[in-house]
């Protein structure tokens, strides 16, 4: 009891150390004040349902804006999202061994049904050459090509082997968009999936076929597929034709 009393008195002499506020590694303090405010306002809402697709010019600017130590990871995440159409939670479920066989990047990737929306069935998508190049750059820059890292998350958080959270991934995409000078309203991680949908919809192979589009997006209901597509410009053009 005497020792306890002494400790309480001794610690009471010193004020507690100030707690340093947690700052996201994605916060860009060099952004103009208006863009920083717009970004923080949008981060507070985390509204995925209204996300829009990006144009080809915006895609180039977004990728160019990914800079710093984790550039390879951020680029790989964005490129993979725009070329596979996987949801962000599905992308973040991937491990190194899902895309790397020890000698080369796989030609397709499978997300197990436990990580899919609805958890009904797994989904496999082929990997575009741009995706394979981005993954290889990620593995080389982080040295995750070594067999010891086979069970590591492909997209791991800063300074640890834990996978990125969906919140962190959201911040990465929005911060890059803000740095690129894009309007971050309606931009989020679901923007990657919607960009994939827009590209596929106008491709010669899909050719605006809702059945093919639904299969690419992993939808059983065509109504869900149509919600991904924005017809406003096409319908206006049809009326004016």
Residue 184 has pLDDT above 50, yes or no: yes
pTM for this predicted structure: 0.76
Residue 12 lies inside a defined structural domain of this protein: no
Q: How many domains does the structure of the chain reveal?
A: 1
Domain, as residue range, for 150? 51-225
Could you tell me if residue 163 is inside a domain?
yes
| Helix 71-84, helix 190-201: angle, nearest 10 | 40
Q: How far apart are CA 12 and CA 84, in angstroms?
A: 58
Sign of CA dihedral 52, 169, 182, 61: negative
How many CB atoms lie under 10 A from the CB of residue 108?
10
Residue reference for tokens 């209204």:
50
Q: Residue 140 pLDDT > 70, yes or no?
A: yes
Residue 94 has pLDDT above 60, yes or no: yes
Mean pLDDT throughout 39-60?
Answer: 70
Strands 108-111 and 123-126: antiparallel
Burial tier of 192 (Cβ tally within 10 Å: 0-12, 13-18, 19+): buried
Specify the range with the lowest mean pLDDT, choosing from 67-76, 159-168, 178-187.
159-168
Residue 68 resides in a domain: yes
CATH code, domain carrying 73: 1.10.443.10
| CB 65 within 8 Å of CB 58 | no
**Spatial distance between the Cα atoms of 166 and 92, rounded to a whole number of angstroms:** 8
pLDDT digits (tens, 9 = 90+) for 9-33: 433 343 343 333 333 333 343 444 4
């Amino acid at each position: 009891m005497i020792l306890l009393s002494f400790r309480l008195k001794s610690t009471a002499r010193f004020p507690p150390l100030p707690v340093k506020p947690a700052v996201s590694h994605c916060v860009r303090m060099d952004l103009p004040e208006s863009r920083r405010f717009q970004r923080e306002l949008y981060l507070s809402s985390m509204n995925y349902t209204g996300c829009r697709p990006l144009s080809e010019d915006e895609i180039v600017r977004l990728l160019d804006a990914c800079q710093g130590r984790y550039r390879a990871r951020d680029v790989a995440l964005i490129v993979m999202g725009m070329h596979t159409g996987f949801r962000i939670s599905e992308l973040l479920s991937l491990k190194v061994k899902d895309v790397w066989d020890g000698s080369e990047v796989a030609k397709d990737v499978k997300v197990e049904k436990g990580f899919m929306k609805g958890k009904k069935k797994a989904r496999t998508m082929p990997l575009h050459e741009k995706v394979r190049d981005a993954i290889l750059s990620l593995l080389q820059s982080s040295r995750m090509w070594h067999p010891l890292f086979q069970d590591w998350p492909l997209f791991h958080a800063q300074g640890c082997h834990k996978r990125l959270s969906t919140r962190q991934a959201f911040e990465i995409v929005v911060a890059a968009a803000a740095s690129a000078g894009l309007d971050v309203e309606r931009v989020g991680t679901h923007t990657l999936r919607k960009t994939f949908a827009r590209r596929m919809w106008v491709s010669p192979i899909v050719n605006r076929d809702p059945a093919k589009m639904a299969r690419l997006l992993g939808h059983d209901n065509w109504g869900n597929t149509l919600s991904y597509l924005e017809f406003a410009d096409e319908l206006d053009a049809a009326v004016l034709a």
